[in-house]
Amino acid sequence: MNKPSRLRIVCINVVTWTIVLLVSFPLIWMLLTAVKPQSELFRIPPTFLPQRITFEHYARLLSDTPFLTYFGNSIVLATATTILVIAVGTLGAYSLVRFRYRGREQLATLVLFTYLLPSVVLIIPLYLLMVKLGIANTLFSLVLAYTTFSLPYALWLLRSFMAEIPEDLESAALVDGASRLGAFWDVIVPQALPGIISTALFTFILAWNEYLYALVLVNSDSSRPLTTGVMNMLITSFNIEWSLLMAASVMMSIPLIVIFAFLQSYLTSGFGVGGVKG
Amino acid sequence: MTGISIFAGPGRTLDGRYAILGLILIAPAITIFMAVIVYPLVSAIYLSLFSIYTPTLQGRFVGLGNYAVILTSPRFWNALYNTLIWTVGTLTLQVLIGVGMALLLNQTILFRSLARSLVLFPYFISTVVAVLVWQWVFNDLYGVLNHTMLRLGIIDRPVDWLGQMPNAMLSIVFVGAWKYFPFVVIAVLARLQTIPEALYEAATIDGAGPVSRFFDITLPQLRDVLAVVILLRTIWDFKEFDLIYLLTGGGPLNATQTLPLLVYQEAFGLNQMGMAATFAVAMMLAMLVFISIYLAHRAREVAAS
């Protein structure tokens, strides 16, 4: 390797990592703030690394605030939404990919259209509907509301994944005497499993992060999810405790960190199929 | 290839039976669609013809009256203007930073997969987390941004980043770019990896420098993916609610109030549901332009493949 190209590689590395660290700085700052004692936050000039590491904010978060209730609500909410959407979406996507009936193409376009629809258009009628049905202020109403964006998304993603499975595999099973649903269960589901996992992860993250529906449809602490719950902690506090809020932010990001650490390849494959091409 | 005949259907009855099975499989999805998307959508259009007071839900039919109000409503035009500024501003930054970052991450760098994960992270975290972190960074008294800029001598007194104009608009545009540029990175990076190396080698032999290689080879190859990315991001930025609502709440004095925030304020702040539905429908009509372009683009792509 000659000299200029080595210099080039060093330059590119330095530039790239500088930008990467700048991009991740707010998140690094969040982690650092969460373990600093409250008094250290108001130091001028501010300390970068904490002089004393404390986990008191995490402890207070769990014992003195409704954070755990919110966390539990979010787990239930995101899991229920994911299960519902994956069950309905897998069957629906299979139908859209492998069966021929009138209106199939229009249906596929409608799915894509609804995927791009703004939530604020649906939210007023949905609010009225939930009030009329008497289910406003429940997690169930949020699960229903979350299907408005996650079901079109999941259908679209799963449809793209399933379209890539060769039809020959399924035909072979049918020739061997399997029923259509038997072939679905034995051939399509295993083949589409990486796609199903990827879709499930995206759905979970979408539901976990959702804010607007939760803001409008739920206003009691017992069924508030994390997003509106943590914002509520900010709004209702007399003096804003930033380290507490940063600790809450870190805790709130734990599922994402777990997904990132172990399942990242599923996220990027979901992107390739559904996000851009689809 | 005899297996194909099973799908085409050797006889009408089998094909018909499969069609019914197909409909049964999609039925749950269609039911949910009807209940939570189609019904509310139609209902929103219907509501937009009424004047409704939210707490009592008492309505009065006003026909197209609400739409006539829009034409002369300064709040609507202000929100539309803000939406356009926000969308164009944040989208431009997202694309520029996204393409630049993708080009860098496509090079041989140390710990590339770690760098990639770190770059993607803002896209996946909750907007609530992003906003809390940025509000702390932007904090006027103890925020790290003001401190750093004071220290570097760029500013000589702390700046109010979210409470005055044009700072508030610049701040949301910037945070929006930070949160959503990874989408561009992922899409562009995936495409970059499929550009044949031979194209670059041939260009280098012909004496092309890095700049002309970028404009003559990379950019034309990225054209299609960038078109889709820009369309999708335009649609998503246009309807963004969380980030702006949580960072500035539309303030100061409605200077960052975009259309989704206007709808929310009208419905749940001013308690005028009918008018809010009208704003929402008008916003959807504006978005239909981009959505139709995207759907047409897809239809062309499907036809081509």
Closest approach of chain B CAs to the CA of A53, in angstroms?
19
Predicted pLDDT of residue B135: 93
State the Cα–Cα distance between residues B158 and B232, nearest whole angstrom: 37
Predicted pLDDT of residue B13: 53
Report the percentage of chain A scoring pLDDT > 70: 95
- Residue A199 contacts by C-beta under 8 Å, 6 or more apart in sequence? A86, A89, A154, A157, A158, A161, A270, A274
Task: Please check the confidence at residue B150 and state whether its pLDDT lies above 90.
Answer: no
Amino acid making up residue B185: V
- Give the confidence band of A140 by pLDDT, cuts at 50, 70, 90: very high
Contacts of B29 in chain A (CB under 8 A): 88-89, 91-92, 151, 155
Task: Please check the confidence at residue B10 and state whether its pLDDT lies above 80.
Answer: no
The beta-carbon neighbor of A94 closest among B25, B30, B36 is B25
In total, the C-beta contacts within 8 angstroms joining chain A to chain B are: 278
CB proximity A15 to B under 8 Å: yes
Give the HSE-up count for residue A246: Cα atoms under 13 Å, Cβ half-sphere. Answer: 26
Residue B58, helix vs strand vs coil: strand
- The answer to whether the Cβ–Cβ distance between A44 and B147 falls below 8 Å is yes
Contacts of B232 in chain A (CB under 8 A): 116, 275-276
**B72-76, B181-185, B191-195: the lowest-pLDDT one:** B191-195
Predicted pLDDT of residue A75: 96
Q: What is the mean pLDDT of residues A82-89?
A: 96
The beta-carbon neighbor of B115 closest among A20, A125, A277 is A20
Whether the Cβ atoms of residue B49 and residue B274 lie closer than 8 Å to each other: yes
Residue B272, helix vs strand vs coil: strand
Predicted pLDDT of residue A104: 84
Q: Hunting for tokens 């897809």 — which residue is that?
A: B298
- The answer to whether the Cβ–Cβ distance between A101 and B137 falls below 8 Å is no
Tell the CATH superfamily of the B69-304 domain: MetI-like (1.10.3720.10)
Burial class (CB in 10 A: 0-12, 13-18, 19+), B126: buried
Predicted pLDDT of residue B1: 35
Predicted pLDDT of residue A43: 77
Q: Of chain A residues 71-100, which have a CB less than 8 A from chain B?
A: 87-89, 91-92, 94-96, 98-100
Q: Of chain A residues 228-257, which have a CB less than 8 A from chain B?
A: 230-231, 234, 242, 245-246, 248-249, 252-253, 256
User: How many other CB atoms are there within 10 angstroms of residue A169's CB atom?
Assistant: 16
- Give the confidence band of A272 by pLDDT, cuts at 50, 70, 90: low
The beta-carbon neighbor of A124 closest among B3, B37, B273 is B273
Whether the Cβ atoms of residue B136 and residue A245 lie closer than 8 Å to each other: yes
CB proximity A45 to B under 8 Å: yes
- Taking the domains of chain B in order of start, what are their residue ranges? 4-47, 69-304
State the Cα–Cα distance between residues B91 and B75, nearest whole angstrom: 24
Closest approach of chain A CAs to the CA of B172, in angstroms?
15
Q: What is the mean pLDDT of residues B205-210?
A: 84
Overall pTM > 0.80: yes
Contacts of A9 in chain B (CB under 8 A): 108
The beta-carbon neighbor of A12 closest among B3, B109, B268 is B109
Closest approach of chain B CAs to the CA of A259, in angstroms?
10
Task: Please check the confidence at residue A247 and state whether its pLDDT lies above 80.
Answer: yes
- The answer to whether the Cβ–Cβ distance between B128 and A209 falls below 8 Å is yes
Across all residues in chain B, what is the average pLDDT?
Answer: 88
Whether the Cβ atoms of residue B52 and residue A133 lie closer than 8 Å to each other: no
Q: Hunting for tokens 């900010």 — which residue is that?
A: A234
**Plot region of B207 (φ>0 → left; ψ -120 to 50 → alpha; else → beta):** left
- Write the CATH number of the domain with boundaries A58-277: 1.10.3720.10
Predicted pLDDT of residue A164: 86
Task: Please check the confidence at residue B9 and state whether its pLDDT lies above 50.
Answer: no
- The answer to whether the Cβ–Cβ distance between B241 and A209 falls below 8 Å is no
State the Cα–Cα distance between residues A224 and A73, nearest whole angstrom: 7
Greatest Cα pair distance in chain B: 82
- The answer to whether the Cβ–Cβ distance between A27 and B19 falls below 8 Å is no
Task: Please check the confidence at residue A160 and state whether its pLDDT lies above 60.
Answer: yes
Q: Of chain A residues 46-65, which have a CB less than 8 A from chain B?
A: 46
- Taking the domains of chain A in order of start, what are their residue ranges? 3-57, 58-277
Indicate if ipTM > 0.95.
no
- The answer to whether the Cβ–Cβ distance between B147 and A260 falls below 8 Å is no
Whether the Cβ atoms of residue B62 and residue B49 lie closer than 8 Å to each other: yes
- The answer to whether the Cβ–Cβ distance between B3 and A16 falls below 8 Å is no
Predicted pLDDT of residue A2: 42
Q: What is the pLDDT of residues B97-148, one digit of tens each?
A: 999 999 999 888 888 888 988 998 999 999 999 999 999 999 888 888 988 8
CA distances from B67 to A143, A259, B136 (A): 33, 46, 41
Interhelix angle A139-163/B12-33, rounded to 10 degrees, is 140
Give the HSE-up count for residue A202: Cα atoms under 13 Å, Cβ half-sphere. Answer: 30
Contacts of A121 in chain B (CB under 8 A): 40-41, 44, 280-281, 283-284
State the Cα–Cα distance between residues A224 and A217, nearest whole angstrom: 9
Predicted pLDDT of residue B11: 42
Predicted pLDDT of residue B4: 40
Across all residues in chain A, what is the average pLDDT?
Answer: 87
Enclosing H/E stretch for B179: helix B167-192
- Give the confidence band of A187 by pLDDT, cuts at 50, 70, 90: confident
Q: What is the pLDDT of residues A102-126, one digit of tens each?
A: 888 888 888 888 888 898 999 999 9
- Give the confidence band of A273 by pLDDT, cuts at 50, 70, 90: low
CB proximity A163 to B under 8 Å: no
- Give the confidence band of A19 by pLDDT, cuts at 50, 70, 90: very high
Q: In a mutagenesis test of the A interface, which of B124, B157, B175, B302 is the best target, namely the one with the most A β-carbons within 10 Å?
A: B124
Q: In a mutagenesis test of the A interface, which of B21, B24, B37 is the best target, namely the one with the most A β-carbons within 10 Å?
A: B37
- The answer to whether the Cβ–Cβ distance between A121 and B25 falls below 8 Å is no
